[in-house]
Structure 1
Amino acid sequence: MLMRTDPFRELDRLTERLWGTSAHPAAMPMDAYREGDTFVVQLDLPGVTPESIDLDVERNVLTVRAERRTAPGGDVEMVVAERPAGTFSRRLFLGEALDTDRIRASYDAGVLALRIPVAEQAKPRRIEISGGGGAGDRRLISG
């Protein structure tokens, strides 16, 4: 059986194992749900300071970046280092139905919560229809 090997990819894997680093930002666990006229996103970012969180919206793409610092420097010898450190990144593709100009963000107990209102044009609305015969022919239709 023939196998293709990429020596550079293998070198990256060995380096990651040895130093515990990754060339790619780690993803953050997320929950998302709709609550009435608001879309809610919750991202787990334990051990991250609010100052290290960066939120950007461009063309209905929300990018969340955060950084968790490594263990304290100086004369410290790590015995076990299992918690990921470095840059975390997540991109969310938001549809046209959300009002990205009114996003609210809060951070509490290691959870970043984003509240994104549903855009007015995406909400169901009632449309009045008038008939051609007269004023008595009007009726409302839910849309």
Structure 2
Amino acid sequence: MLRFDPFSDLESMTKSMLGSPVGSARVPRFMPMDLYKVDDHYVLHADLPGVDPGSVDVSVDNGTLTLTAHRSAQSEENVQWIASERFTGTFRRQLSLGEGIDSEKISASYENGVLSVTIPVAERAKPRRIEVSSLGAGEHRTIEAGPAGGDSS
């Protein structure tokens, strides 16, 4: 699916006229990530190749998950750059968490340039069974509660 961006042509023209200095530190534009749900937790994978594991920070504040990492520029002297396309600087991504998340149990690991964050669903937000009794008939039946807006087929 293509997205219309009226400013992309202007940005491209500005870059071609002003140029981008070779070997300079450029600010990263984004942190590519995947987010999916497995059973009772969400899993987030963010690509951070070449990032020092000590610079990776994952924090939760007031329902916002913040991922931060820093990649330093190479500081070699007497280097004649031929191409410099890798971003250096600080990467940051923020996600709003819903109320059904157990933020106390969020965990993260960084391996082979990929930051993995496990975001568990809170107990109160998990589907549960509710016992329904019929008045006077003495019968009991169980109804399974599912996610809101579920399919009734």
Q: Is TM (by shorter chain) over 0.5?
A: yes
Residue 75 of structure 1, CA deviation: 3.8
Alignment size in residue pairs: 130
Paired residue for 2:140? 138
1:119 equivalent to 2:122? Answer yes
TM-score (norm 1): 0.79
- Structure 2 gaps of 5+ residues are 1-14, 146-153
Paired residue for 1:17? 20
Paired residue for 2:113? 110
- Structure 1 gaps of 5+ residues are 1-12
Letter in 2 for 1:91: Q
Residue 55 of structure 1, CA deviation: 1.1
Paired residue for 1:71? 74
- Residue of structure 2 aligned with 1:62, choices 65, 70, 85: 65
CA-based RMSD of the aligned residues comes to 2.3
* Distance across 1 between alignment mates of 2:136 and 2:47: 60
* Distance across 2 between alignment mates of 1:16 and 1:41: 35
Residue 52 of structure 1, CA deviation: 0.5
Runs of 4+ deviating beyond 4 Å: 13-16, 19-22
Paired residue for 2:29? 26
* Distance across 1 between alignment mates of 2:101 and 2:48: 24
- Residue of structure 1 aligned with 2:42, choices 39, 42, 45: 39
